[in-house]
Amino acid sequence: MNQPATKVLVIGYVWPEPRSSAAGGHMMQILQSFLDQGWDITFSSPATLGEHKADLPSLGIHECAIELNNSSFDDFIRTLAPDIVLFDRFMMEEQFGWRVEKHCPDALRVLETSDLQSLRDARQQRLKEYLKRKPEADDFGAVFCDALDEEFQLMADSDLAKREIAAIYRCDISLMISEVEIQLLTEHFKVPAALLHGCPLMVEAPTAAFAPFEDRAHFLSIGNFRHAPNWDAVLWMKNSVWPLIRQQLPGAQLHVYGAYTPPKATALHNPAQGFHVMNWAEDALQVMTAARICLAPLRFGAGIKGKLVDAMLCGTPSVTTPIGAEGMGDDQPWPGVIERSASALAAAAVALYQDPEGWARAQENGRRLLARRYAQEIHGPALVERLEQCRSQLAEHRRNNFTGSMLRHHLHKSTQYMAQWIEAKNRSV
């Protein structure tokens, strides 16, 4: 007799937009891993629909809009009775975790962190403070911190870190996109390794020939403008990096693509300077394949960068910073160049742009890196195996996580009463 399909409920912070952000792409890769197992998936979210939302029903995924602070969710989840609940970002666990535990206590609770938002926020604050002291700074070696104990010191007193790491404890498994973040959590925040699972971006490594050097032209930058690290990178390119490139390559052109382009971004468009703000790319891989160099001068951030995985998929060498490359490579050569200052980034970009042999080596380094570290055929089944293993030992797993049980007891009670108060208040209005 066939066993019923495993039921998965995803509670999304937003509806996934794989062509707008790496987070959206990663969610779709996770969903595909579940679909490959024949699992029955329902995706829910309290968010409004975005412009570039994925067509989930065409994949056989059910959709359901849900509301914050509304007991209608209780009826919904009781009826659905999922075996696994995946919270997309810790804020969704804060909002809905107590309801999930109350009505489906035996469901495996999984947190998709996307990246450590508290780490990203701490780095952003550090950059702001650095720029207050040195507004004309060119070299950001002091900002690109290699020591995780210093990152811990930055984060440890923040409310955001306390909220985010508490959510990790309250869940049975948290999906971590970066090995660096796993190391930070286990070694410095003392989170048990049993609560974490490394789940990077998952792609099929390209096997076909890439477009060659001579068929490529121009520089490209891409990233959702709503994501603060991307916007900072665009400003740094505009004000510091790109002028240095144009000094050495007067005819150089930079095409800047991004979803949800705000007026402040379109105001930077300046064809005379070769700086073209192109808005959203209908097909990010197509425009990446046409470019010769991907520029990603990120001064803060966390996780691993979808734009750099896309660059490797397209055979486009990248010029980035230690933040951009963090957690993405290994002991083999990076598929491009990593530098810490505007002048060094510009010099590297110009040199690579004019070096067919070095460019071709970087292109192949990217192909090999994808095969070593990002293969869907490896990480997808590994994710499913870890979840099934945890489900089979759930009672023991939870007993070994007393801290998580304690945090759920205290937070979920207070969250429940607050949610019920808000719902009652909304009904009386």
pLDDT digits over 206-226, tens only?
A: 889 999 999 999 999 999 888
Number of domains in the chain: 2
- Our measurement of the distance from residue 91's CA atom to the centroid of its chain's CA atoms, rounded to an integer in Å, reads 15
Residues 227 and 368 in one domain: yes
Residues 248 and 356 in one domain: yes
Residues 382 and 369 in one domain: no
Residue 133 counted as domain residue: no
Residue 138 counted as domain residue: no
Residue 123 counted as domain residue: no
Share of the chain above pLDDT 90, in %: 81
pLDDT of residue 20: 80
> pLDDT tens digits for 96-112?
999 999 999 999 999 99
Q: Name the DSSP class of 191.
A: -
Residue 311 counted as domain residue: yes
Which residue spans within 98-160 are E strands per DSSP? 108-112
Residues 280 and 158 in one domain: no
The more confident residue out of 147 and 231 is 231
Residues 221 and 192 in one domain: no
Q: Is 28 left (phi over 0), alpha (psi -120 to 50) or beta?
A: alpha
Share of the chain above pLDDT 70, in %: 95
Domain boundary among 346, 373, 400: 373
Q: Residue 350 — pLDDT band, cuts 50, 70, 90?
A: very high
Residues 351 and 405 in one domain: no
262 burial via Cβ count (<10 Å: 0-12, 13-18, 19+):
exposed
pLDDT of residue 419: 61
Residue 240 clears pLDDT 80, i.e. is over it? yes
Residues 54 and 170 in one domain: yes
Residues 222 and 184 in one domain: no
Between the two ends of the chain, the Cα-to-Cα distance in Å is 53
φ/ψ of 355, rounded to 5, equals -120, 90
> pLDDT tens digits for 24-39?
899 999 999 999 999 9
Residue 126 counted as domain residue: no
pLDDT of residue 237: 96
Q: Residue 18 — pLDDT band, cuts 50, 70, 90?
A: confident
Residues 322 and 420 in one domain: no
Residue 131 counted as domain residue: no
Distance CA 204, CA 107 (A): 31
Residues 74 and 43 in one domain: yes
Distance CA 84, CA 103 (A): 13
pLDDT of residue 416: 63
> pLDDT tens digits for 65-91?
999 988 899 999 999 999 999 999 999
Residue 139 counted as domain residue: no
Domain boundary among 373, 395, 411: 373
Residue 1 clears pLDDT 60, i.e. is over it? no
Residues 332 and 362 in one domain: yes
Q: What is the mean pLDDT of residues 47-70?
A: 92
> Containing domain of residue 32, as a range?
7-118+147-202+376-428
pLDDT of residue 279: 82
Domain boundary among 328, 353, 373: 373
Residue 323 clears pLDDT 80, i.e. is over it? yes
Residues 286 and 388 in one domain: no
Residue 401 counted as domain residue: yes
Q: How many CA atoms lie within 13 A of 110 on its CB side?
A: 27
> pLDDT tens digits for 221-239?
999 888 999 999 999 999 9
Distance CA 117, CA 95 (A): 17
Q: Which residue has the tokens 């999922």?
A: 82
CA–CA distances in Å: residue 297 to residues 180, 213, 264, 338, 407: 19, 22, 19, 9, 39
Distance CA 53, CA 39 (A): 22
Distance CA 181, CA 104 (A): 30
CATH number where 182 lies: 3.40.50.2000
Q: Quick one: which H or E segment has residue 36? A: none
Q: Quick one: which H or E segment has residue 295? A: strand 293-296
